[in-house]
């Protein structure tokens, strides 16, 4: 019985942390926008030119409404809803996702995979870019660093 309470308490703590992180990100974005620094939604990443995307360093979100179980990205159920699979990761994608450390750029990750997997540079870049955009739409990762000031608002 106490184990269930601990899990529930941990889940509530995670939700509160996620709320306050989102609130803080929104507040910082609002201040940056007032200071003249343009902001955009994560949903608009696919509209950015490749020269900007190549320089972005993706970072995995440590906490959030998801879990990785084996090779599946699972949206955790909330308020009685069952967890659901939102993305199935192949071995290559798992390896790339693990490199979303906030320091390696999309370009660097792509170049590494060109060498290790024997694919053409453009194909490697397109695959890394597509994975980044797909996972960011689930708010599982985001750009990091001062030049990638993108807020977490959905619209």
Q: Residue 143 forms beta bridges with which residues?
A: 58
Mean pLDDT of all residues belonging to the chain? 77
Q: Is 153 domain-assigned?
A: no
How far apart (Å, rounded) are the C-alpha atoms in residues 60 and 82? 23
Tell me the whole-structure pTM to 2 decimals.
Answer: 0.67
CA distance 15 to 11: 6
- 150 within some domain: no
| Predicted local confidence at residue 65, as pLDDT | 77
Q: Which domain holds residue 28?
A: 2-144
Query: Within a domain: residue 155?
Result: no
Structural tokens at position 41: 């939604």
Lowest mean pLDDT among 13-17, 63-67, 89-93, 101-105: 13-17
In a domain, 131, yes or no: yes
The DSSP secondary-structure symbol of 82 reads: P
Domain-located, residue 154? no
- Helices and strands counted in the chain (H then E): 5, 5
**Distance between CA atoms of residues 103 and 100, nearest Å:** 8
- Residue 149 maps to a domain: no
Q: Is 9 exposed, middle or buried (0-12, 13-18, 19+ CB in 10 A)?
A: exposed
What's the number of domains the chain is made of? 1
Q: Per residue in 90-140, pLDDT tens? A: 989 999 988 999 999 999 999 999 998 889 999 999 999 999 999 988 888
């Amino acid at each position: 019985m106490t184990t269930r309470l601990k899990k529930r308490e941990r889940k509530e703590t995670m939700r509160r942390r996620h709320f306050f992180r989102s609130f803080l990100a929104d507040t910082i974005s609002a201040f940056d926008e007032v200071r003249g620094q343009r902001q955009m939604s994560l949903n608009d990443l696919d509209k950015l030119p490749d020269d900007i995307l190549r320089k972005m360093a993706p970072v995995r979100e440590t906490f959030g409404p998801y879990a990785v179980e084996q090779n599946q990205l699972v949206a955790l159920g909330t308020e009685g809803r069952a967890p659901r699979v939102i993305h199935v990761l192949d071995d290559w994608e798992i390896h790339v996702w693990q490199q979303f450390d906030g320091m390696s750029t999309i370009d660097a990750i792509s170049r590494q995979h060109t060498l290790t997997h024997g694919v053409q540079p453009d194909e490697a870049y397109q695959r890394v870019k597509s994975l980044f955009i797909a996972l960011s739409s689930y708010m599982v990762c985001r750009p990091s660093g001062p030049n990638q000031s993108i807020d977490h608002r959905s619209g």
